[in-house]
Structures are given as C-alpha cells and as structure tokens.
Amino acid sequence: MSNKKCSIQYIFKFLEDPAHPSVGPHLKLLSCTGLWRSDVKSFVGRFKQILFYITITFFFSQYIKCCINFNADSLKLILQYAPFHMGILKSCFFQKHFGSWQNLIGYVSSVERSQQVKKDKKHDDIMTDYIRRNRRVSYFFWGLAFFSNFSIFTEPYQKNQVNENGTSVYLNIFDGYTPFSREPPGYYLSMCVQTVLGHIVSAYVVGWDTLVVSIMIFFAGQLKISRLYCSQSIDVDNPVKSHENIANCHRFHTTLIKYQKLFNSLISPVMFVYLIVISVNLGVCIIQIVEIHDDLATLVSSCLFVVACLIQLLLFYWYANEVTVESMFASYSVFESDWPASNKKLQKEIALLGLTTKKRLFFKAGPFSEMSLPTFIAILRASYSFYTLLNSTN
C-alpha cells in the first residue's frame, strides 16, 4: 500500500514544474499532445505536429462526408460525440493564437514566481490554497475523462453483430475516412484508427479545458492577493512608502485586468461554439438514454458521458463566476487599510485606487452570453427544451 502511495506521489511530483507553479501539469499534457510547442524542431516535435494534422484531417473528412452525402447516422454520430469534435476547434484556435497563449502563460508563471520569492506567509497561503484547488479539479477531471473514454470506446463493440433483415451491423465511433472495409477484418483496423485518434482528440480537450479552468482559478486567487495588497497599502509612519504601495497596487490590478481581457478574447469564440454544441448534445444524449431498454451497459456509459459533459460545463461557469465575484470585492479591501490615519493626499490616492479596483471582471461565451452560474442554469433549461422538441417530433 505504501509503495503504491509513493508511486502516485512520484507521478504527481513529476508533473510539477517550478517554472510554472499553476499550469505545469497542464503544459506537460499539452506538450505530450504537441499543442504546446516546446520542442518543435526535434524529431519527436515534428512527429507530434504531423500527428496533429492527421487527426485534424481525419475529423474534417467526417464533416465533408456528411455534407456531400448527407447521412442521418453520420450526423447523429457527430452530435452524439460533439465534445470530442470540440477538441478540433479548441486545438485549432490554440495553434492559431499560440503566441498570445505563450504571452498569457508567461505572465501567469512570472507573477507566481515573483510572489514565491517574497516568502510572505499570507501570499503563500492564498497561492497554496488555489494551486491545491487547481490540482484537485484537474486530476479529478483527468480521471473522469479516462473512465468516460473507456466506456465510450467500448460501447460500439457491445452493439455489434446485431442482425437486422439478415445483415450484420458494425457500429463506429467516428465516421471519418479510413481506407478499410466497414466489415471485419477491415472494421477492426478502422476502429483501431478511430480509437487512437479519438484518444488524441480527447487529450486535446482535457488539456485545453483544465488549462482554461486553472487560469480562471489563477485570476480568482490573484484577485484575493490584490485585495491583500490594497488592505496593506497604508503605512502611517511612512507616507512615501504608502504612495509606492498604492502605485504598486494600481499597477498590479490594471495588469491583471489587461491579461484577463486577453484570456477572455482567447476563450470567448470557443466557448460560444461550445455553448451551442453542448446544448444540442445534451438534448440528443437524453433522448438516447430515454430510448434505451434492457441494455444496462449502454445506459451506464451514456449516463456517465452526460455527467462528464455537465461537469465539464459546470467547471467553466463555476470558476468564471468565482472570478466575477472576487473582482467585485477587490475595491472593498482598499478601505480596510489604515486610510483614516493618513494625510489628505494619500486619502485621495486611496479613493482613486478604490475606483480603479471597482471594475467588474467577467468572461463571455461569444458576444452575448456571460459565463456565470445563472447562465449555466439557462443552458440546462435550453437543453431540456431541445430534448422536448426532438422528442415531440419523433
């Protein structure tokens, strides 16, 4: 038992990166998939890039086949496994804006390293708390994705060999182009390709999702540190030091807002598409669950997939909402400082600092929808409405 515990601790320690306190494990996962281009000139780096283009081509072939020769079953597969297909969009946008992602992650890591150097207990407590929460959420989601993938990729085999009008049916996970027959032995080769590329896309999804959630947790944690800076800004015995503290608080908070806007611009288009896709996907999955009869294995795997989608969506909206809530508390901490004992000039500067830190921060899914818990409830309602619409037309 102790050996097993030590091996797990070793794995977790291996995933950590001192250069990236918050996002180290996420960058290692993205580096394994080739999305984080740390070794692009090496043979392994080029192989990952080639594999990325092969994966993208395979999934795009499914969309082209569905458009040219419309097939209801192919469209159903796309809708059923829509979160996998979102991995294509997420990875493409990540590659397109890779320079901006590097800039953002560089800022996140540099801020945390500089705070660690100070050896301030209050800073360390806040940082330790939100990094620990980051790890719990990320590793839980990684484990959930692993078990969800296992149930998804084994489901077609459980439904194969079903005779309908004297013919055998062999189900697929994805309907992308493969140069193999749809019946054995070509079917199994095709399923092998689908499974490998499906796991790669799943790694894209998991890596992108947990990176985004971890950065949201970072912003919420840093807003708490901003509140700490503001509450400690006044030194009654040293007006010059107080002025420097106020200037540093202002600089820190405005820089935080700058990078929060950059982060929002990177995720907003993807989250808008995801908002539409997941609403439709949940409706389709619920209909399939309702139609399942006397098939416990399929029912369990379908329910697990729906739960995974809901948890995935909840993580985004929960931590986006947390950033919004923390931003609304930032300005209050200004007046927790010893400002009444300071001179009039410092009191004016404190008042201006309170106005500066009053800005409400939020994330948007596209140009219309704000990412918050009320929006999450609205998405669930929309999914149920879509389910009732589809169910009534059957």
Confidence tier at 394 by pLDDT (50, 70, 90): low
pLDDT at 44: 84
**Selected residue with higher pLDDT from 157 and 238:** 238
pLDDT above 60 (res 299): yes
- At 11-55, the pLDDT tens digits run 667 778 889 999 989 999 898 888 887 776 788 888 888 888 988
CB-neighbour burial class of residue 199 (10 A; exposed 0-12, middle 13-18, buried 19+): middle
Per-residue pLDDT of 323-335, as tens digits, reads: 999 998 888 888 8
Which one has a higher pLDDT value, 384 or 312?
312
Give the DSSP letter of residue 363.
-
| pLDDT tens-digit readout, 123-137 | 889 999 999 999 999
Percent of the chain with pLDDT over 90: 23
- Rounded average pLDDT over 84-92: 86
For residue 254, the model assigns a pLDDT of 92
pLDDT reading at 107 higher than 80: yes
What distance lies between CA 320 and its chain's CA centroid? Answer: 11
pLDDT at 75 (0 to 100): 74
CB count in 10 Å sphere of residue 88: 19
Q: What's the CA gap between 41 and 25, in Å, rounded?
A: 22
Q: Quick one: which of 178, 202, 199, 200 has its CA closest to 190?
A: 178
Q: What is the reported pLDDT for 264? A: 94
Checking if the pLDDT of 94 tops 90, the result is yes
148 pLDDT band, cuts 50/70/90, is confident
Cα Dmax for the chain:
92
* CA torsion through residues 135, 136, 141, 146, sign: positive
How does pLDDT run across 158-216, given as a tens digit for each residue? 666 655 555 677 777 777 788 877 777 787 888 888 888 888 888 898 899 999 999 99
Coil vs helix vs strand at 340: helix
Is the model more confident about 340 or about 285? 340
Tens digits of residue pLDDT in 242-251: 888 888 988 9
CA distances (Å), 169 to each of 76, 175, 213, 325, in order? 16, 14, 40, 52
**pLDDT exceeds cutoff 80 at 157:** no
